[in-house]
């Protein structure tokens, strides 16, 4: 369901929106698309940061396990 709303944007932001609007796309659709893309990017960044924090918390253990596995490697 689409809801009508009113927002106020700075002129420079509106110019960027107009530049990013695809052919045949309304300004409203462009703003919605750009907002969705931006929110998705923020969600990816947050997930990446959580993943990195998890890896960093366990880095020493993971590195020790990798070093142990490499001890079993043989030359072919």
List, for residues 3-12, the tens digit of each pLDDT value.
999 999 999 9
Examine the pLDDT at 76 and tell me if it is beyond 90. no
Residue 41 pLDDT: 98
**Segments forming the whole domain that contains residue 37:** 11-71
Give a yes or no: residue 48 inside a domain: yes
Q: Yes or no: say if 13 and 5 are a contact pair by the CB < 8 Å rule.
A: no
Q: What does the buried/exposed string (b/e) look like for 42-71 if buried means 16 or more CB atoms within 10 Å of the residue's CB?
A: eeeeeeeeeeeeeeeeeeeeeeeeeeeeee
The total of structural domains in the chain comes to 1
Give a yes or no: residue 4 inside a domain: no
CA of 3: how far to CAs of 7, 15, 22, 24, 30, in Å? 13, 24, 22, 21, 15
Give a yes or no: residue 76 inside a domain: no
User: Which of 9, 1, 63 lies closest to 31, judged by CA?
Assistant: 9
Give a yes or no: residue 32 inside a domain: yes
List, for residues 21-73, the tens digit of each pLDDT value.
999 999 999 999 999 999 999 999 999 999 999 999 999 999 999 999 999 98
Residue 3 pLDDT: 93
Tell me the whole-structure pTM to 2 decimals.
0.71
């Amino acid at each position: 369901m689409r809801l009508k709303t009113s927002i106020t944007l700075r002129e420079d932001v509106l110019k960027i929106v107009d530049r990013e609007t695809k052919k045949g796309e309304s300004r409203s659709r462009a703003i919605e698309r750009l907002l969705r893309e931006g929110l998705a990017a923020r969600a990816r960044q947050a997930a990446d940061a959580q993943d990195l924090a998890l890896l960093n918390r366990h880095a020493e253990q993971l590195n020790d396990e990798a070093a142990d596995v490499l001890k079993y490697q043989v030359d072919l």
